[in-house]
C-alpha cells in the first residue's frame, strides 16, 4: 500500500513538473515574441527596416522592449560591422596593380572608416555610461558622432570615380555599414525623442 501511494505521489509530482515546464516555455515564448515584435515595430522608423530587423532580432532577449537597449545594440552592431569592413579594406588595399589614385583613395577610405570606428565607439561608450544618457548635450554629441560616421562611410567611395570596378567593390563593402549607421542614428533619434 505504502509503495502504491508513493508511486501516485511521484506521478502527480511529475505531472506538475511537466505542467510547470510547459507553462514556463509558453511564457518565455510569449515574451520572446513581444521582444521581437518591439524590434520589428521600432525598425519601422529606420530607412532600412528589413536590415534593421535582421541585424537586431537575434538579440531580442537582451534588448527586450527597451528603446535605450535597442539604440545601444544598433550602435554595437554598427561598430562591429565597421571594424570588420575596415579590416577588409586594409586587406583589399594590399592588392597589387592598383593605380596610384586608387591607392590614395583606398588610404583615404581606410582613414575614414577608422574615424567612423572612433565616432561609433565614443557614442557607444557615452550611451553605456551611467547617468550620462540623461544629459541632452550628451545625446546631441552621440547623434553628431553617428552622423559623422555615416558621412565618413558615404565619402569613402568618392575617391574611386575613375575606376568603376574598384568603386563597385568598395561600395559593396561600405553600403551595409552605411545602412547600419543610418538605422542606428534613426533609433538613437527615436530614443532621444522619448526622453525629451
Tell me the pLDDT tens digit for each residue of 74-89. Answer: 999 999 999 999 998 8
Q: How confident is the model at residue 95 (pLDDT cuts 50, 70, 90)?
A: confident
Q: How confident is the model at residue 66 (pLDDT cuts 50, 70, 90)?
A: very high
**pLDDT tens readout for residues 130-184:** 765 457 778 888 888 888 888 877 788 777 777 778 788 888 888 899 999 999 9
* pLDDT score, position 98: 79
Q: Mean of the per-residue pLDDT values for the chain?
A: 82
* pLDDT score, position 40: 93
What are the sequence ranges of the domains in the chain? 11-195
* pLDDT score, position 173: 84
pLDDT: which is higher, 12 or 54: 54
Q: How confident is the model at residue 6 (pLDDT cuts 50, 70, 90)?
A: low
Cα–Cα nearest to 35, from 59, 71, 68: 59
* pLDDT score, position 28: 46
Q: How confident is the model at residue 1 (pLDDT cuts 50, 70, 90)?
A: very low
Reply yes or no on domain 11-195 having CATH 2.40.30.160.
no
* pLDDT score, position 7: 64
Q: Mean pLDDT across the stretch 47-52?
A: 95
Q: Which three cell numbers stand for residue 82?
A: 565597421
Alpha-carbon span 186 to 45, nearest angstrom:
7
Alpha-carbon span 123 to 181, nearest angstrom:
12
Amino acid at each position: 500500500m505504502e509503495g502504491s501511494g508513493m508511486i501516485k505521489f511521484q506521478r502527480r509530482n511529475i505531472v506538475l513538473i511537466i505542467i510547470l515546464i510547459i507553462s514556463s516555455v509558453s511564457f518565455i515564448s510569449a515574451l520572446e515574441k513581444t521582444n521581437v515584435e518591439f524590434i520589428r515595430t521600432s525598425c519601422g522608423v529606420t530607412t532600412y527596416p528589413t536590415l534593421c530587423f535582421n541585424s537586431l532580432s537575434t538579440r531580442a532577449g537582451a534588448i527586450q522592449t527597451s528603446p535605450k537597449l535597442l539604440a545601444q545594440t544598433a550602435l554595437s552592431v554598427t561598430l562591429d560591422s565597421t571594424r570588420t569592413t575596415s579590416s577588409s579594406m586594409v586587406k583589399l588595399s594590399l592588392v597589387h596593380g592598383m593605380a596610384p589614385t586608387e591607392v590614395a583613395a583606398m588610404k583615404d577610405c581606410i582613414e575614414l572608416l577608422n574615424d567612423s570606428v572612433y565616432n561609433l565607439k565614443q557614442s557607444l561608450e557615452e550611451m553605456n555610461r551611467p547617468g550620462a544618457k540623461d544629459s541632452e548635450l550628451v545625446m546631441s554629441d552621440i547623434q553628431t558622432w553617428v552622423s559623422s560616421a555615416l558621412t565618413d562611410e558615404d565619402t569613402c567611395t568618392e575617391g574611386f570615380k575613375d575606376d568603376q570596378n574598384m568603386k563597385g567593390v568598395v561600395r559593396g563593402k561600405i553600403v551595409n555599414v552605411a545602412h547600419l549607421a543610418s538605422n542606428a542614428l534613426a533609433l538613437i533619434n527615436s530614443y532621444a525623442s522619448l526622453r525629451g
